[in-house]
Chains A and B, each alone.
Chain A
Amino acid sequence: MSTPLAVRLAALAASSDPDGPPPTPPAPEPLTNHPEPLTNHPETPADRPHPPTDRPHPPAAHPQVLADRPDGTVVRSGRTVAKAHAPDADPHDLAARLRIAAHPLLHGILLPPLPLTAPDGFLVLTDEGRALSRWPYGTPVAPDDPAAAPWEDAARLLARLHAVDPRQLPGPVPPMRGPAKAAHALTRLRAAVDAGPKGAVPRPLRAAAAAVERAWYGLPPWARGEAPPPRAASLCHGDLHLGQLVRHPAADGRWLLIDVDDLGLGDGAWDLARPAAWFATGLLAPDIWTRFLTAYRAARGPALRPDGDPWPELEVPARALTVQTAALAVAKAVTGERALDEAATAVIDACARMASLPQQLAPGGPVVR
């Protein structure tokens, strides 16, 4: 993150007047850099309601970097956070997604953004064209105990999100970016391998990259972002994981979904497919997957048949998300000149099994009559 962007985000997060432009601070406060994205930062007194005073916000809250990744930087100041969206984010689509998050139909489902430029203006652009937005702070999911995570809440929020009638939203509603993100992960993998350490990528990483590519080409074009999806009538989150849930108001409000950067019309099964893929690859215990699945069905989530085997709907998106996860893991291992960890190995092994499925059915390969 560049220093001007950090200062701009800190000022935006600290600005207290939502109807006016964000003030420039006389001297930037020091930034506290926390390496763990959105998950493991201590609560500060600013989380709790404080008695009304003459000061609009507590002076002790130093800006704190909650996440700093190529696709987004988030800085917190007290009860507010500011986000710099991905540099390649389309400002028009992003503005549409922010208006949806602020729409009354999404109340209690998505965390609403704070107004920036006008009552319905939730976005400002930096001189470099980087989109910035401003949000209330919410308490994230504790990172150390998957069983204690709000799986049922996540499932119910998705069921409600998928049931929203998109025709009642401020349009046009952009497409859900899940397949595009998967394709981007493959692009990143190829770039990492091409630029590998002195041209020599270690053999296990090359083998992993090849397994990921084979699994990728076993997917139908829509799941690779190359064709419209066969089912695209639902409002979808597009990038569900445990970092996408916060309690608002902090620290004991209700759970809400955050991060609308990939929100849009698509197949709701995509949002369920990441927990499904974690279960399938052995990263998530079967009983936790069952809790999530049962809660989604109990809330009448429309993306799955109401009972029976859910995999006809989940199969393709869960494969795509497994390939996406594996591609990013291999890309990071190549770029960082690291070995693959246990979780990366689990998703790469799943890619290898996907690629070998027809051979598994017929040991001698297909015989075309």
Chain B
Amino acid sequence: MQCPKCHAPMHTYNRNGVQIEQCAGCRGIFLDFGELEALTRLESQWVQQAPPPAPQAYPAAPAWGAPHHGHHGHHGHHGHHRGLGHMLFSS
């Protein structure tokens, strides 16, 4: 199958029992009939189990970003201490 947007090949993945196609080029995702409903159903199950959300919105972050802990800035791993700051001053 080819991506309708950029025409790169699309690969099939199985996520929680739902088949989804992802484009190798633009990373867009194609869902077959019923797959969106299946994902929505899974999401609502997860939301029911999940703890209440953090009071302050965390800015959008990429999938490869460091894991964060809802409340931010309190754990000392965000550059407030010595050892990390030098990276902010170099190429």
Contact = CB atoms under 8 A, between A and B. Distances in A.
B73 A286 contact: yes
Contacts of B14: 362, 364, 367
Nearest to B88: A242
Interface string A141-169: 10110110100000000000000000000
Interface in B14-58: 14-15, 22, 58
Contacts of B63: 353, 357, 360
Of the candidates B11, B65, B80, B88, the one having the most CB atoms from chain A within 10 angstroms of its own CB is B88
B84 A342 contact: yes
Q: How large is the interface on B (under 10, 10 to 19, 20 to 34, 35 or more residues)?
A: 20 to 34
B78 A284 contact: yes
Contacts of A310: 60
A369 B14 CA distance: 12
A45 interface: no
Interface stretch (A11-19, A98-106, A121-129, A275-283): A275-283
A281 B65 contact: yes
Contact of B89 (A242, A309, A319): A242
Interface residues of A, number: 58
A278 B88 contact: yes
A284 B78 CA distance: 5
Given A319-B64, A367-B13, 20 more contacts: A39-B89, A141-B89, A146-B88, A241-B91, A243-B90, A279-B59, A280-B61, A283-B84, A284-B78, A285-B78, A286-B73, A290-B59, A328-B90, A328-B91, A343-B83, A343-B87, A353-B63, A360-B63, A362-B14, A367-B11
A361 interface: yes
A366 to B, nearest CB: 4
A146 B83 CA distance: 12
A311 B62 contact: yes
Nearest to B63: A357
Given A146-B79, A283-B79, A368 B89 contact: no
Main secondary structure on B side of the interface with A:
loop
Contacts of B1: 369
A111 B84 CA distance: 28
Contact of B66 (A282, A318, A366): A282
Nearest to A38: B89
Contacts of B58: 286
A62 B16 CA distance: 68
Nearest to B75: A282
B72 interface: yes
Contacts of A353: 63-65
A4 to B, nearest CB: 26
A66 to B, nearest CB: 12
Contact of B87 (A147, A325, A350): A325
A281 B91 CA distance: 15
A358 B77 CA distance: 27
Nearest to A341: B83
A333 to B, nearest CB: 14
Contact of B79 (A280, A284, A318, A350): A284
Nearest to A141: B89
B83 A286 contact: no
Contact of A350 (B66, B88, B89): B66
Residue of A39, A181, A279, A354 with most chain B CB atoms under a 10 A cut-off: A279
A213 interface: no
Contacts of A38: 89
Interface string A183-216: 0000000000000000000000000000000000
